[in-house]
Amino acid sequence: MHRSSDTGKKPDVKAVADEPTPVMIRISTRTQGLLDSLKEQPDESYDAVILRLCDRDSDDDAPLSDETLKKIEESLAELQKGISHTHEKIVKELVAGKKK
């Protein structure tokens, strides 16, 4: 994709105006179907779907919080000690937590 003012940075999708300017773009029927399947509401606009996807992508690049890094380190330490949890055990704990 070529941008005339490409700085290497991703655009700040939160800074985009709330009201979209009508623009015609050409997409395949397959892409349209994919966008339709990503709608959270049947009447959600393609603009809203695309902005949500862009916002989610920009969140993926955010640095991990100190709390998350600490949990990762604790989990790695458990693995090194041979402590592991089965998928079934984790599911049981999650289901039990929802029932409380």
Nearest one of 51, 71, 67 to 59, comparing CA atoms? 51
Element (H, E) at 49: helix 46-60
Q: How far apart are CA 95 and CA 64, in angstroms?
A: 27
C-alpha span between 84 and 53 (Å, rounded): 34
- Of residues 23 and 100, more confidently modeled: 23
pLDDT at 65: 87
The Cα–Cα gap between 24 and 21 comes to 10
pTM of the model: 0.43
- Per-residue pLDDT of 43-57, as tens digits, reads 999 999 998 888 876
